[in-house]
Amino acid sequence: MAEKFAAVDVIVAKRDKRELTDEQIDWVVDAYTRGVVADEQMSALAMAILLNDMTPREIARWTGAMIASGERMDFSTVGRPTVDKHSTGGVGDKITLPLAPVVAACGAAVPQLSGRGLGYTGGTLDKLESIPGWRASLSNEEMLAVLRDVGAVICAAGDGLAPADKKLYALRDVTGTVEAIPLIASSIMSKKIAEGTGALVLDVKVGSGAFMKDEARARALAERMVALGEDAGVRTRALLTAMDTPLGLTAGNALEVRESVEVLAGGGPADVVELTLVLARNMLELAGVHGPDPEEVLRDGRAMDAWRRMIAAQGGDPDAPLPVAPEQHVVTAERSGVLTRLDALAVGVAAWRLGAGRARKEDPVSAGAGIEMHAKPGDAVTARQPLLTLHADDAGRFAASLRDLEGGVAIGDPGTPIDLLPLVIDQIGS
């Protein structure tokens, strides 16, 4: 059967800054998923979209076409209101780990479909896979069973969910088109809408360690995603949050799991606790759940109970020792003063060099590799005090990691102004 369109005509239309019709969008997404449109043709179209943008109508139609390429999940039998969270990624961003059990302990259900890291931003599944026995791949039936029993599940998206996005995401990653806001928005929201959650909170990171370095682009992305969610009947809100310095005091897989457990035990770094509580309260509000306050379930142990049940339900041993890298290198302060800079990008790339991240999606990651931070900007430090501890499986990785940290750490005199973004910059949406 003859195809409705020629791929080159769709490419030329967007190259020449024309709006694509609904029929063109439906066809090109479907034809690419079927293999009729070649990778090099979709690469050209993605670049044209990056350079010439899309209208809100085009983005909404593109998102709908990607949803239509696969299945839609149904959580109507879970017995609780469903709410999910998506982060655009950052350094030390382990928030999903304590957040899902906190929200579950408050009475909502959290179907958290997560991914693996690429480059310096850590993946939630990579972190959790450092727990002995834990598995990310669940069938839809298994996912529903954990959700009904525990109230929270963190797992990989199945192959049937927005397969067009899975194929296009891999292509964008190798063709320099990842930054296209229409394609980012449709990629994230096609999966979240197809997932079937009733409400969604978006954590859109801003700063050196974020995908969006400046607030204006982060805001544009957030507004577009909120509109897509609301148009699809998903109650959606976005928070712009800081990623100019790493979240918490760890960047690395097992290191971040350990820190997350500290938060669930009632401790942990103040910024991780604060953002967990802010996101939890927003999620519960959108879900219409008026149970205990998230701070209360952290304090009395109910969130920890939900975490242990969630990990065990996916084959993990919550009591098993976490992997520890065999090699460590301590970076000390060169002088006394105040830590004025701990750049998220520098720390993230340095942790990646140590083995905590991957350059290609098929690369393995080291469970124990990463960086511990012993001070954050604003803290007083003394000469020769430990600032960072680098963890690696191979001591040969330290030299490159240390080069990446050069310029990313700075110490000033007491009273030196420190220019940091507020943890929560703004809220967008309902």
CA nearest to 357, candidates 387, 328, 405, 397: 397
CA nearest to 334, candidates 372, 388, 397: 388
Catalytic residue, chosen from 43, 69, 186, 187, is: 187
Lookup: tokens for 98: 């304590």
CA distance 214 to 243: 10
- Residue 172 is among the residues annotated as catalytic for this protein: yes
What's CA 381's distance to the chain center, in Å? 32
- Residue 165 is among the residues annotated as catalytic for this protein: yes
Name the one residue in this structure whose structure tokens are 């109970």: 305
Catalytic residue, chosen from 191, 235, 308, 353, is: 191
CA nearest to 201, candidates 293, 90, 287, 294: 287
For 407, which DSSP code?
T
- Residue 86 is among the residues annotated as catalytic for this protein: yes
Q: Which residues are bridge partners to 341 per DSSP? A: 410
CA distance 374 to 133: 30
Catalytic residue, chosen from 86, 224, 235, 397, is: 86
Catalytic residue, chosen from 165, 271, 343, 404, is: 165
Helices 96-105 & 270-287, crossing angle to 10 degrees? Answer: 50
231-to-16, 146, 167 alpha-carbon distances in Å: 28, 29, 25
Which residues in 195-319 belong to E strands, given as ranges?
199-206, 235-242, 250-252
Residue 66's identity, in one-letter code, is: M
**Strand 199-206 versus strand 235-242 pairing type:** parallel
CA distance 420 to 172: 32
- Residue 329 is among the residues annotated as catalytic for this protein: no
Q: Are 359 and 403 in contact (CB under 8 A)?
A: no
For 355, which DSSP code?
I
Q: Give, in degrees to the nearest 5, the angle at Cα 209 between 207 and 211.
A: 80
- At 186 the three-state DSSP class reads helix
Catalytic residue, chosen from 14, 127, 172, 391, is: 172
Residues annotated as part of the active site: 86, 165, 172, 187, 191
